[in-house]
Amino acid sequence: MAGTNAAEASPEAAPEAGPLAPAAAAPPAGSPPSPPDDARETELDGGGAPQDTAEVAPSANAGEVVLKLFARTDVGQIREHNEDNFLVADLTKRSRGLLESNRVASVGPFGHLFAVCDGMGGAAAGEVASQLAVDIIFERMSDGLEQKTSVSRDEIARRLVRAVEVAGLRIFQEAKADRSRRGMGTTVTASALVDDHLFFAQVGDSRGYLLRDGILTQVTRDQSLVNQLIEAGQLTAEEAETFEHNNIILQALGTSDTVQVDLTYAQVRRGDKMLLCSDGLSGMVRFEEIREIMRTAGEPVDICKALTERANQAGGHDNITVIIVVFDGDGLAEGDPQPEPMKYRKYPLPEEDSSDSPLYESPASTGLSTGVASHRPQGDGAEAAADGEPVQSNGVRSARGRNDGWHEQGPHGAPGTGDEGIDIPGTHVPAGVVVGIVIAVVAALAATAFILLR
């Protein structure tokens, strides 16, 4: 069985193989090579802050933004191999990885990129999916930057969303082409920093947090059944810890040719700390413990080590991946004496015709059907079904039935507040088929009753 060995490794290397030497990425000429990385995280009770969709004001600071960062992935105590991957990249240098020189970095005109992916699918397909995700996201975010001198916030946000969408489409295509990889998928929580704005693109239930002035806030939202029930008021956070179906998520990259990316943002300040992680951390370590470790552990490398060790001590039931980034530099504002509470906040990205973008790949261009397939992750050894039902990580279908779309409710987006829900596409059976099934069932029951009562 798997041990507790951890890896500060690139996605090109097997994460479960213990501490690995950095592997060269594939940066363009003149850029120093650095190894890629992979990670993921989740938490049930950390995202209680209200939602907001706000207009974004330009930053008044024009100084240097400095990052101190580290990432770590661990196979855990139960799993035999690691299906998580993480990405740490400098888009200005077009390099990725955790070389010593990259652990303290100035943010250039194209910003920095981070991502955690939690793969699923069995027979090594999960790690293939998460590896594809981090590779494609980096490739798409870097594409065409050599022709620019800088990028705007809207452009980096749009690139992030499109990169995640293309990754989902490509993983779906790979799974469709290879039967041994049918049903593979991955979550993704990706973030991109440009000037003082940090954008998050979310699919699945890995997580993003920010620690400010000792207060930890979940700034992403889990796309999971348990979170939907919490927000609908049908389940409390305490009940969710022992909820029977807390491993069901509502969508993942690769289980359909389309995904609905949740784009949010935060304006960071000096001293803020970001955590991206997989549910191997958030599902094993309580929110209060995560906050205390982030407050007291010191350097990013120490925080990463403490968090993964704590998850292993709690049982290590899943792969554990964390990325820690500390924000500093005179390009960031100092703390406000009366700060606005950190919150989950959507980014109002202007509409644009996606077919005109070089980042966009339509299903038709790849030979894929435009019909929507299943929006759920598969467990080890499970194959993707085409009925749109949420599925547990062990491949068992939820008794809840079809996923008719994930609607934001509860404290983050109560009905009537004007906030737009994230409508996840679903696969719907035609009404005529449903009527036929109902009639057939009624007829069968009537015939059975007639025979038994004769």
Residue 364 lies in a domain: no
Residue 287 lies in a domain: yes
Q: What is the pLDDT of residue 331?
A: 93
Q: Which long-range CB contacts under 8 A does 104-109 form with residues at least 24 apart?
A: 104/66, 104/67, 104/68, 104/69, 105/66, 105/67, 105/69, 106/64, 106/65, 106/66, 106/67, 106/329, 107/64, 107/65, 107/66, 107/67, 107/193, 107/194, 107/195, 107/329, 107/331, 109/149, 109/150, 109/151
Q: What is the pLDDT of residue 339?
A: 66
Residue 74 lies in a domain: yes
* Residue 313 phi, psi dihedral angles, 5° rounding: -65, -30
* Residue 201 phi, psi dihedral angles, 5° rounding: -115, 125
- What are the residues whose beta carbons fall under 8 Å from the beta carbon of 316, sequence distance 6 or more? 4, 74, 76, 77, 78, 280, 284
CB 187 within 8 A of CB 247: no
Residue 319 lies in a domain: yes
Q: What is the pLDDT of residue 92?
A: 95
Q: What is the pLDDT of residue 430?
A: 62
Residue 386 lies in a domain: no
The domain of 42 spans 6-354
Torsion over CA of 443, 444, 449 and 454, rounded to 10 degrees? Answer: 90
Q: What is the pLDDT of residue 448?
A: 86
Q: What is the pLDDT of residue 116?
A: 98
- pLDDT, averaged in runs of 10, over the chain (454 residues): 44 38 39 40 38 49 88 95 96 92 92 96 83 98 92 96 97 92 94 96 97 95 89 82 81 93 96 96 95 95 97 96 97 77 88 54 42 35 36 36 34 38 48 73 84 78
If you compute the radius of gyration of the chain from its CA atoms, what whole number of angstroms results? 22
DSSP letter at 419?
P
Residue 193 lies in a domain: yes
Outline where DSSP puts E strands in 252-371: 262-267, 273-277, 320-328, 345-346
DSSP letter at 322?
E
Number of structural domains (the chain) is 1
Q: What is the pLDDT of residue 49?
A: 41
Residue 419 lies in a domain: no
CATH of the domain at 11: 3.60.40.10
* Residue 370 phi, psi dihedral angles, 5° rounding: -85, 0
Q: What is the pLDDT of residue 292?
A: 97
